[in-house]
A and B are shown apart, each in its own frame.
Chain A
Amino acid sequence: DQQVKQNSPSLSVQEGRISILNCDYTNSMFDYFLWYKKYPAEGPTFLISISSIKDKNEDGRFTVFLNKSAKHLSLHIVPSQPGDSAVYFCAASSRGSQGNLIFGKGTKLSVKP
C-alpha cells in the first residue's frame, strides 16, 4: 500500500510556463515533506522541503504548497526552464521516525523550448 502517491507519471510543459507537480499521502503521521529532482544516471538532488507547521515554502522559482486536510502537496516551478526536465520525487517522513523517507514513484517533467 503506497503511502506517498504521485499519480502523474509524466508532465510536459512549455518553457516559461508554470509546472505543477502533485503528490498525495495517506499517513497522517507524516510531518516533513521533501522534493527531489533526479537526472538520468545520477542520484536524487534535494530541491525544497516543508514542515507540516507551514502551508507554503518558497525558494527562488520553486514553491511547495501543503494542504494537510487534503493530505496533498504540490511543487510549482515558475518559470519552467528546459534544464528543469528531470524526474521529480515527492518524499515524506513521520514524527518519531528516524528520518526515514518514503518516496513516491516520481513524475517525469519535460520542459519544451
Chain B
Amino acid sequence: EAEVAQSPRYKITEKSQAVAFWCDPISGHATLYWYRQILGQGPELLVQFQDESVVDDSQLPKDRFSAERLKGVDSTLKIQPAELGDSAMYLCASSGRTSGMKDEQFFGPGTRLTVL
C-alpha cells in the first residue's frame, strides 16, 4: 500500500540551530501539505503545494520557516533558527485532489521535533 514517507522520525536540536525535515508523498499525488501539531491540539496547516508551486503559506512563519518542492515530488521543510516554541510534531500529507474536487489527505508518520 502506498504511503507518505517522512524523515527523520525524531529530531532533537538546540535553540538557534537549523533543522530540516523531508517528505515523499504518495506517487502521483500533486498536492502536498505540511502541518504542525502541538501536543493536545489538532494539526494546523503551515504550507500547501500544488505540484511545485506554493498555493497557501499564509500560516508559515516566514522569518524562520521555509519550504520547497523543487521538482513537484518530494519536499523539504526547514527551520532556521529553531526556537523552544517550535517543539511539535511536523506532519506531511498528500492528496490526489485536483482543483475544485474534494479528496481525503493521507498523512505520513510525522517528525517529532524537540528544541532544547
Tell me, rounded to whole Å, the shortest Cβ–Cβ distance linking B14 to chain A.
23
Closest chain B CB from A98 CB (angstroms): 5
Binding-face segment, A45-53, A61-69, A78-86:
A45-53
Asked, given contacts A43-B91, A44-B91, A98-B55, whether A103 binds B44 with beta carbons under 8 Å apart, the answer is yes
Interface residues contributed by chain A, number (CB under 8 Å):
23
Contact (A49, B42) CB under 8 Å given A98-B50, A99-B31: no
- B109, A41: Cβ atoms closer than 8 Å: yes
Partner of B97, one of A34, A42, A99: A99
Establish whether residues A44 and B107, one from each chain, have CB atoms under 8 Å apart when the complex forms: yes
Within 8 A of A (CB), among B1-38: 4, 6, 31, 33
Whether B102 contacts A32 by the Cβ 8 Å rule is: yes
Q: Is B103 an interface residue (CB 8 A)?
A: yes
Decide: A101 near B110, CB < 8 A? Known: A43-B91, A46-B105. no
Task: For the complex, give the distance between the alpha carbons of A66 and B102 in Å.
Answer: 17
Q: Kindly identify which residue among A44, A99, A104 contacts B102, using a CB–CB cutoff of 8 Å.
A: A99
Q: Which residues from A are CB-within-8-Å of B33? A: 100
Our count of residue pairs bridging A and B at CB distance below 8 angstroms stands at 58
Shortest CB-to-CB span from B2 to chain A, Å, is 13
Return chain B residues, CB-CB under 8 Å to A34: 104
Residue contact B102 to A43, C-beta cutoff 8 Å: no
Q: Which residues of B contact A106 (CB under 8 A)?
A: 41-42
Distance in Å: Cβ of B22 to nearest Cβ of chain A: 15
**A43 touching B4, Cβ below 8 Å:** yes
Residue ranges of B at the interface with A (Cβ–Cβ < 8 Å): 4, 6, 31, 33, 40-45, 48, 50, 55-56, 91, 93, 95, 97, 99, 102-110, 112
Please, could you name 29 A-B residue pairs with CB atoms under 8 Å apart, sorted by A?
Answer: A41-B112, A43-B4, A43-B6, A43-B91, A43-B107, A43-B108, A43-B109, A43-B110, A44-B43, A46-B105, A49-B104, A89-B42, A89-B43, A93-B102, A98-B56, A99-B31, A99-B95, A99-B103, A100-B33, A100-B45, A100-B48, A100-B56, A101-B43, A101-B45, A103-B42, A103-B44, A105-B40, A105-B41, A106-B41
